[in-house]
Amino acid sequence: MELGQNRNRDWIAWAAVAITAWLVMSILVALANPVVARWIWPGLLPVFILAYGCLAVCYLVKRVKGWSERYLDTLLEQQTFGNEEEIRKIQAMVEHVGEMEKKVDRIEAMLIMDGDREPEIEVQEGTSANPPLPKGTHESPGSGLPYDPL
């Protein structure tokens, strides 16, 4: 428990204790001396009602202030959290775009390099670099159509 929070809350409790002690002492003095009682009683009740009313208002204001601070902190945290998430998404996209740029640059360099050099293997038109398949392996059995295993 933090000591600062107790000190901020204690002034209301100490004020309530002081007002109550003053009320009890005033009543005891008024009962002991009837002359003082005639002088104290007319103003005693309104003074204590006003004092306790002020304490109640201070207490309520403090509660409302605490609630509004928690609400605003939560609201700010949500806005900050949303921004952090968006920032992370943007950073991930920037990294992805950077990787794509590297790939494009590498492909471009390969194309430029291939365009400068002449082809090392010459392939005659109409022929394939792969050896031919054995007869009948690419046709379906019996129909003569190309064989599709799928």
- Tens of pLDDT, residue by residue over 63-115, are 999 999 999 888 888 776 667 777 788 899 999 999 999 999 888 888 887 66
pLDDT of residue 112: 83
* Structure confidence at residue 123 as a pLDDT band (50, 70, 90): very low
Distance of CA 109 to the CA centre of its chain: 44
Question: Averaging pLDDT over each range in 23-27, 76-80, 133-137, which range is the top one?
Answer: 23-27
Structural domain range at position 74: 11-113
Interatomic CA distance for residues 54 and 13, integer angstroms = 13
Query: Please, what's the largest Cα pairwise distance for the chain?
Result: 135
- Residue 130 domain-assigned? no
- Residue 138 domain-assigned? no
- Residue 127 domain-assigned? no
Domain count, the chain: 1
- Residue 58 domain-assigned? yes
- Residue 137 domain-assigned? no
- Residue 132 domain-assigned? no
- Residue 88 domain-assigned? yes
- Residue 126 domain-assigned? no
What's the pLDDT tens digit per position in 54-72?
A: 889 988 998 999 999 999 8
Q: What is the pTM of this model?
A: 0.44
